[in-house]
Amino acid sequence: MNVITANRLLDGEVVWLGDNGHWSETLQGAKVLESAEDVAEHMAIAKQAIADRFVVEAYEMAVKHEDGKLVPVRYREVIRAAGPTILPGLGKQAKPVAV
């Protein structure tokens, strides 16, 4: 299970590719990609978004389901999806919509 992630060009915000080419600010809005073809097709959408100057540095990352939620497999991505572990008041974790 994979999703595609990137940073928004203008403000650097971490985003994930959702449905219909929409980029979500939360991991829960990401479109889960099961097959290699699925990933390839969505990477093409991401490349276009890079060309359109919406995002930069897109890549795929592994996720899993835990308690009905999407969770990154790598700890690095867990931190990236939430914010610095040392400052819970900053980053996505501090926003009203939970990650």
Partner 1 sequence: MYRYDEFDHSFVNQRTEQFKDQVRRRIAGELTEDEFKPLRLMNGLYLQLHAYMLRVAIPYGTLNSRQMRKLAHIARTYDRSYGHFTTRQNIQFNWPKLEDTPAILEELAEVEMHAIQTSGNCIRNVTADHFAGAAADEIADPRPYAEILRQWSSLHPEFSFLPRKFKIAITGAPHDRAAVQVHDIGLQLTRNEAGEIGFVVFVGGGLGRTPMVGRKVRDFLPEEDILAYSEAILRVYNQYGRRDNKYKARIKILVHETGLEELKKDIEAEFEKIRYDVLRLPNEEVRRIEAYFAPPALEVLADTDPEFEERKASDPAFAQFAKNNLNPHRVPGHSSVTLSMKPIGGIPGDASDVQMDIIADLAKTYGHDEIRISHEQNVILPHVAIRDLPAIFDVLVEHNMAEGNAGLITDIIACPGMDYCALATARSIPVAQEISERFGKAERQAEIGELKIKISGCINACGHHHVGHIGILGLDKKGEEFYQVTLGGSADENTSVGQIVGRGFSSDKVVDAIETLVDTYIDLRQDKDETFLEAYRRVGEDPFKEALYGVG
Residues that bind partner 1 (CB under 8 A): 7, 9-14, 50, 53, 56-57, 73-76, 79-80, 83-87, 90-91
CB 31 within 8 Å of CB 3: yes
C-beta of 38 vs 62, nearer to partner 1: 62
* Nearest distance from C-beta of residue 85 to partner 1, angstroms: 6
3: β partners:
61
Minimum distance between the CB of residue 29 and partner 1, rounded to whole angstroms?
17
**What is the smallest separation between the CB atom of 62 and partner 1, expressed in angstroms?**
10
CB-wise, 44 or 56, nearer to partner 1? 56
- Cα dist from 47 to 9, 65, 80, 90, whole Å: 13, 26, 21, 29
Min. distance of Cβ 41 from partner 1 in angstroms? Answer: 22
Q: Which of 63, 48, 7, 78 has the alpha carbon at shortest distance from 16?
A: 7
Report residue 80 as tokens.
């990236």
The SS3 of residue 63 is strand
Nearer to partner 1, 28 or 80 (CB): 80
